Chain A
């Protein structure tokens, strides 16, 4: 068992590295394509981390853009003002977003899901208001509504890709751990989970903080790609983008969210000229997917080597972790 497990890791790692070289060779020379690919990788981080909160733990966060903003401003501020190197700055941004996530989650996660939706939405808005009023709160260098220009462009496709793979790896392992199972039990039936001795509030806050930290990481990458810190990059509509990715990919499917992250990025780029139409398609797809498949397109299933192999009949499918979710 141990051998097959590490085998799977070797295959996945080889696949990830191969994909990276194929993508870099195919698109790396074109500045526009590599920009879009970087954006796609950042969106994968956001979609997968939001899926931990919305899909796996069954909570409803609408504030992912707010955590992204925290990460972006902390990481971008560190590299721009204090000349901190890229990686420590990214880590600090992620940590800051995680801490803010913990502070926001602690009071609100005791409540039922729909309050959390509004509270996180409100939190995202408060972050934006604070940034816009940075002069009034004693941080005039953040530029308020004007933002900060000239953030060093450290984010390359290579870094974004590396962190996307890192995010998927960490969150997949978390889901398959004791703690991850506890989070899923909260989603399935909070009262039953509590009765079984799961400290539901603790796991909700844990999942929320981890999700927020990765959103902060994505924010840091995004700021160093855009080379700009601006409050308008982190509006409520940004959070809706992330929500659409999770819903499209499947509530509780890591690979689904990752694929949806790439798809939505490409789709948004294709419809860049017709913004109105893009939002109409988003909203209709949210409604229709919920009406037809409330669990999202992939549901809780994962795209794995085993599931590909299962397409050939006659072979007994091996056990796959993370995919056990009822469709009720």
Chain B
């Protein structure tokens, strides 16, 4: 009896890791955008949804091949992210924060209902890009889809780390995040850096969308709302604006959600994220990896 419950626990940890790395990929986009323009990009969860749909259509054009589908979806979402930033957020960069936030909600609703209007409200079945196989490790089960999700997320996170810390544009991003005006005075093209940030964040979200499509093959126009909110909470949990924090927060969020289903009815699942959020805001508003800062005048 002891053994089976331990097995079940470990099994849930594995499932949580796979779910958590999806949250982490989405959370990275939130945290990067917040780090640079101090905006909660409410539409980010919907970019993830659009990414999944782009993957769906790309699979129609190229056939069920994983790599091309992933790349097309990421490229399309990156473009979408840049368009959103240019059209809706850039004109409000100097406006009160409440205005930018309202616009972000508007963009989010527009993406959801626009998709619903164009493609139709019914969920679509995501094509099988890889054949699902299950491996047994002792009494634990792990599927190649889980492994793929983990490996692709890990690969993208390493790539992101490389871009941010080892390239010229990454250096500019860190400079803009630290002090936008000083960065501008040093000759950095701030607008371009912000666009690149949105492009990278959106591409990561799209990758998450394609991975979710493979793991849970049902996509619909509202699929981005809850994962988007949970990923945001993950970013806050890790410390918003901090890239490793988003990964840590994402994984913790995935684990917390999977484990909460063990102890509470599954209908409570969606409340887990918000309970975590309220606890973080109460106990450690700057997040696990963040440093407490007083607001500057």
Q: Do A and B make up one complex? A: yes
Interface residues of A (CB under 8 A from B): 54, 58, 60, 62, 107-108, 111-115, 117-119, 121-123, 125-126, 129-130, 132-133, 136, 191, 236, 240, 243, 247, 251, 276-277, 279-280, 282-287, 290-291, 294
> Top 8 A-B pairs ranked by shortest CB distance?
A122-B274, A286-B106, A283-B109, A294-B99, A283-B110, A287-B106, A279-B113, A129-B271
Q: Which residues of B contact A107 (CB under 8 A)?
A: 278, 281-282
Is there a chain A Cβ closer than 8 Å to B267's Cβ? yes
Interface stretch, picked from B88-96, B147-155, B158-166, is B88-96
Is the Cβ of A133 less than 8 Å from the Cβ of B268? Answer: yes
Query: What is the chain B residue whose CB lies nearest that of A124?
Result: B274
Interface residues of B (CB under 8 A from A): 39-40, 88, 91-92, 95-103, 105-110, 112-114, 116-117, 121, 225, 229, 232-233, 236, 264-265, 267-268, 270-271, 273-275, 277-278, 281-282, 285, 295, 297
- Give the complex CA separation of A115 and B132 in angstroms: 40
Q: Which residues of A contact B108 (CB under 8 A)?
A: 283
Is the Cβ of B109 less than 8 Å from the Cβ of A240? Answer: yes
Chain A min CB distance to B220 (Å):
13
Given A111-B281, A277-B117, do A54 and B98 touch, yes or no (CB 8 Å)? yes
Chain A min CB distance to B269 (Å):
9
Is the Cβ of B117 less than 8 Å from the Cβ of A243? Answer: no
Q: Which residues of B contact A129 (CB under 8 A)?
A: 267-268, 270-271
Question: Can you list 7 residue pairs at the A/B interface with Cβ under 8 Å?
Answer: A107-B282, A277-B117, A280-B110, A282-B106, A283-B106, A285-B106, A294-B92
Q: Which residues of B contact A136 (CB under 8 A)?
A: 264-265, 268
Interface residues of B, dominant DSSP: helix
Q: Which residues of B contact A285 (CB under 8 A)?
A: 106
Q: Which residues of B contact A280 (CB under 8 A)?
A: 110, 113-114, 117
Query: What is the chain B residue whose CB lies nearest that of A54?
Result: B98
Given A115-B236, A191-B297, A282-B109, do A290 and B281 touch, yes or no (CB 8 Å)? no
Q: Which residues of A contact B282 (CB under 8 A)?
A: 107
Q: Which residues of B contact A58 (CB under 8 A)?
A: 96, 98
Interface residues of A, dominant DSSP: helix
Task: Report which residue of A236, A280, A290 has the largest number of chain B beta carbons within 10 angstroms of its beta carbon.
Answer: A290
Query: What is the chain B residue whose CB lies nearest that of A247?
Result: B102
- Give the complex CA separation of A286 and B271 in angstroms: 28
- Give the complex CA separation of A193 and B229 in angstroms: 32
Contact partner, B229, options A111, A113, A121, Cβ 8 Å:
A121
Contact partner, B267, options A60, A117, A132, A283, Cβ 8 Å:
A132
Q: Which residues of A contact B99 (CB under 8 A)?
A: 290, 294
- Give the complex CA separation of A135 and B126 in angstroms: 35
Is the Cβ of A111 less than 8 Å from the Cβ of B285? Answer: yes
Q: Which residues of B contact A243 (CB under 8 A)?
A: 102, 105
Contact partner, B117, options A118, A126, A276, Cβ 8 Å:
A276
- Give the complex CA separation of A291 and B40 in angstroms: 17
Is the Cβ of A286 less than 8 Å from the Cβ of B103? Answer: yes
Query: What is the chain A residue whose CB lies nearest that of B110?
Result: A283
Q: Which residues of B contact A284 (CB under 8 A)?
A: 106, 110
Contact partner, B106, options A54, A114, A251, A290, Cβ 8 Å:
A290
Q: Assuming A114-B40, A280-B117, A291-B92, what are 11 further A-B pairs, CB within 8 angstroms? A: A54-B98, A114-B101, A119-B278, A122-B273, A133-B267, A243-B102, A283-B108, A286-B103, A287-B110, A290-B102, A294-B92
Q: Which residues of B contact A122 (CB under 8 A)?
A: 229, 233, 273-274, 277-278
Chain A min CB distance to B59 (Å):
25
Is the Cβ of A286 less than 8 Å from the Cβ of B105? Answer: yes
Is the Cβ of B109 less than 8 Å from the Cβ of A290? Answer: no
- Give the complex CA separation of A251 and B96 in angstroms: 12
- Give the complex CA separation of A108 and B95 in angstroms: 23
Q: Which residues of A contact B98 (CB under 8 A)?
A: 54, 58, 60, 113, 251
- Give the complex CA separation of A117 and B274 in angstroms: 12
Is the Cβ of B113 less than 8 Å from the Cβ of A294? Answer: no
Is the Cβ of A291 less than 8 Å from the Cβ of B277? Answer: no
Q: Which residues of B contact A277 (CB under 8 A)?
A: 117
Q: Which residues of A contact B281 (CB under 8 A)?
A: 107-108, 111, 115, 119
Chain B min CB distance to A39 (Å):
21
Is the Cβ of A279 less than 8 Å from the Cβ of B295? Answer: no
- Give the complex CA separation of A294 and B89 in angstroms: 12
Is the Cβ of A286 less than 8 Å from the Cβ of B102? Answer: yes
Given A251-B98, A286-B109, do A125 and B268 touch, yes or no (CB 8 Å)? no
Q: Which residues of B contact A291 (CB under 8 A)?
A: 88, 91-92, 103
Is the Cβ of A118 less than 8 Å from the Cβ of B102? Answer: no
Task: Report which residue of A114, A136, A236, A279 has the largest number of chain B beta carbons within 10 angstroms of its beta carbon.
Answer: A114
Is the Cβ of B101 less than 8 Å from the Cβ of A117? Answer: yes
Chain B min CB distance to A245 (Å):
12
Chain B min CB distance to A268 (Å):
14
Chain B min CB distance to A138 (Å):
13
Query: What is the chain A residue whose CB lies nearest that of B265?
Result: A136
Is the Cβ of B117 less than 8 Å from the Cβ of A287? Answer: no
Given A60-B98, A191-B297, A291-B92, do A126 and B275 touch, yes or no (CB 8 Å)? yes
Is the Cβ of B101 less than 8 Å from the Cβ of A125? Answer: no
Is the Cβ of B229 less than 8 Å from the Cβ of A118? Answer: yes
Q: Which residues of B contact A108 (CB under 8 A)?
A: 278, 281
- Give the complex CA separation of A115 and B297 in angstroms: 19
Task: Report which residue of B97, B99, B121 has the largest number of chain A beta carbons within 10 angstroms of its beta carbon.
Answer: B99
